[in-house]
């Protein structure tokens, strides 16, 4: 059975700060599932956090 994680649980599992996880979600680096105002993560979502993000050009 798949488990859903909250921001705090997902951040602990990834060993990063919760604010970092929130920033990654807002930038689209980590996928998530929204249920109304609630945000949840699956194991597959958290595995995507370890995949390299596409580089963006800066000027």
For the stretch 1-59, pLDDT in tens is 678 999 999 999 999 999 999 999 999 999 999 999 999 999 999 998 887 766 665 66
Strands (E), the chain: 33-35, 38-40
**Tell me, what's the pLDDT at 56?**
64
Assess contact for 10 and 17: CB atoms under 8 A. Answer: no
**Tell me, what's the pLDDT at 54?**
66
Residues 6+ apart with CB under 8 A from 41: 4, 5, 6, 7, 9, 10, 30, 32, 33
Residues 6+ apart with CB under 8 A from 15: none
Q: What is the pTM of this model?
A: 0.79
**Tell me, what's the pLDDT at 53?**
63
């Amino acid at each position: 059975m798949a488990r859903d994680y909250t921001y705090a649980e997902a951040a602990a599992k990834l060993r990063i700060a919760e604010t970092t996880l929130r920033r990654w979600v807002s930038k689209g680096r980590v996928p998530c599932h929204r249920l109304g105002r609630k945000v949840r993560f699956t194991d597959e979502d958290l595995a995507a956090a370890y995949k390299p993000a596409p580089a963006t050009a800066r000027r």
